[in-house]
Structure 1
């Protein structure tokens, strides 16, 4: 009976070790993802790299990637336009989550009334829904935008 008891105890120990070993490997994968470096940025940071907007946008529009890869899902950007700038009608494959950090922006989504964003305003833009915008005349407009899908923008003339 002692041998049987010892064998049963050994099976329990093996099961426990197997559980904790697999849990440990699982946890390590999660930890690697969580080790990413944190950051804080403002639209006025001197180290931001501003690049051009899509070619259909008028001159003066710039984008700075804050986090992520624009060719992959979940990318965050600052989108900046000068005062009095008109953003032509366009659409995105991704939904947009936006917060206005500078200026005043009038936004109109197809089939909806114009809405005015002021600094601190949050806006949600549904995927593939055409929209236009106009920056107010006092300050440049800077919008933080979180894209769920890869970053893209298409003028309305190209929507199929």
Structure 2
């Protein structure tokens, strides 16, 4: 099994500062996946197809960052893992997610999934419309492609 590590921090760092706030200066935040203030950026190259990321809160280089991940309908997020646990809520679309050792799950908008740190998984957007995922990472945001 060949592994290629890509740290998502490099992909989001140039625009993370806009979402990051110094300690003690945080303000309440509420937004939609359609919010025009979101700064959507291309995903790292391990994610093929139409894939975009937007930092919602925090600094992706540090623990506890929240992001939106949007992939085009039919896009496959190939087998990968994160050093951090991830908490996912599907915001739009229909997504099949399969964690190693567990039965695949079909997520619809509003469904929740939890991925333990280091758990290999893959996902496919089953809908024609894009799939938008809210992902809360416990540690820094990274992805390790498993081939």
Q: TM-score range by the shorter chain?
A: 0.7 to 0.9
Q: Normalized against structure 1, the TM-score is what?
A: 0.75
Q: Counting helix residues as a fraction of each chain, which structure ranks higher?
A: 1
Residues in 2 aligned to 1:54 and 1:128: alpha-carbon distance in whole angstroms:
18
Matched, 1:129 2:123: no
Structure 2 stretches lacking a partner, 5+ long:
1-21
Cα drift, residue 59 of structure 1: 3.2
Q: Give the match's secondary structure for 1:88.
A: strand
Residues in 2 aligned to 1:135 and 1:54: alpha-carbon distance in whole angstroms:
18
Aligned residues: 126
Q: Which structure has the greater CA radius of gyration?
A: 1
Match of 2:32 in 1: 42
Cα drift, residue 139 of structure 1: 1.6
Q: Normalized against structure 2, the TM-score is what?
A: 0.82
Q: Give the match's secondary structure for 2:96.
A: strand
Q: What CA RMSD, in Å, does the superposition of the two structures yield over aligned residues?
A: 1.4
Matched, 1:75 2:65: yes
Cα drift, residue 34 of structure 1: 5.6
Structure 1 stretches lacking a partner, 5+ long:
1-31
Alignment of 1:17-28 (within 5 A): none
Pick 1 or 2: higher relative contact order, CA cutoff 8 A, min separation 6: 2
Q: Runs of at least 4 residues of structure 1 off by over 6 A? A: none
Q: 2:132 aligns with which of 137, 142, 157?
A: 142
Matched, 1:151 2:141: yes
Cα drift, residue 137 of structure 1: 2.9
Alignment of 1:82-97 (within 5 A): 82-97=72-87
